[in-house]
A and B are shown apart, each in its own frame.
Chain A
Amino acid sequence: SQKIEQNSEALNIQEGKTATLTCNYTNYSPAYLQWYRQDPGRGPVFLLLIRENEKEKRKERLKVTFDTTLKQSLFHITASQPADSATYLCALDMDSNYQLIWGAGTKLIIKP
């Protein structure tokens, strides 16, 4: 079955630097790969979606890459701010049927 790996260790980044989070999967590539942000005690918030045939997607300070050869997606936040501190989840939509397979998330801490 499909497994998703995200760094379980918290990622500490200095304010202003670029934060890079990793999402690796084990089996065949999904139709879509999505990134969400989750704050403590809150539901996730959708950030970006990238399709299987796309290499890169950008939205303001966010950038997502998708490498189906490496079976990996990278999520970048440039010019990071303390307000970017949260847990970031990646999720795979294997068959375009809306059901998502979720990673456990990586906690990002941006230090001022």
Chain B
Amino acid sequence: GAVVSQHPSWVICKSGTSVKIECRSLDFQATTMFWYRQFPKQSLMLMATSNEGSKATYEQGVEKDKFLINHASLTLSTLTVTSAHPEDSSFYICSAVIAGGNEQFFGPGTRLTVL
């Protein structure tokens, strides 16, 4: 149980385009999901906390207009990287928490490369 999927697993796009990444909890309902980015050999950096039915809470330094988060249902959150630039190239990972639990269940991650 507690499986989280992400789609796509990797994406290559041209600079200036937008990319949408989906995060789904497959066998549980997730009222809270998190979006992280991770650079090589570095720690996970929390970008935002996504709550179903409400606006996401962004961490300091993360542009909410650039990284659009939508948590439309208890099993789906999406991250859209708008007007992507090469510096947005990174590994994006989502996680979800089961109501009443404390551990986070992570998706497999999405490798974004912006040319």
Contact = CB atoms under 8 A, between A and B. Distances in A.
A105 B45 CA distance: 13
Q: Taking chain B's interface residues, is the majority helix, strand, or loop, or is none over half, making it mixed?
A: strand
Contacts, number: 54
Contacts of A34: 102-104
A105 B43 contact: yes
A42 B108 contact: yes
Interface string A92-112: 010010111011110000000
A9 to B, nearest CB: 12
Q: Taking chain A's interface residues, is the majority helix, strand, or loop, or is none over half, making it mixed?
A: loop
A103 B111 contact: no
Contacts of A46: 103-106
A44 interface: yes
Interface in B94-115: 94-95, 97, 102-109, 111
Nearest to A34: B103
B104 A45 contact: no
Nearest to B6: A43
Interface string B21-49: 00000000000101000000111101001
Interface string A41-65: 1111110010000000000000000
A102 B103 CA distance: 13
Nearest to B97: A98
B79 interface: no
Nearest to A101: B46
A89 interface: yes
A100 B107 CA distance: 16
B93 interface: yes
A96 B102 contact: yes
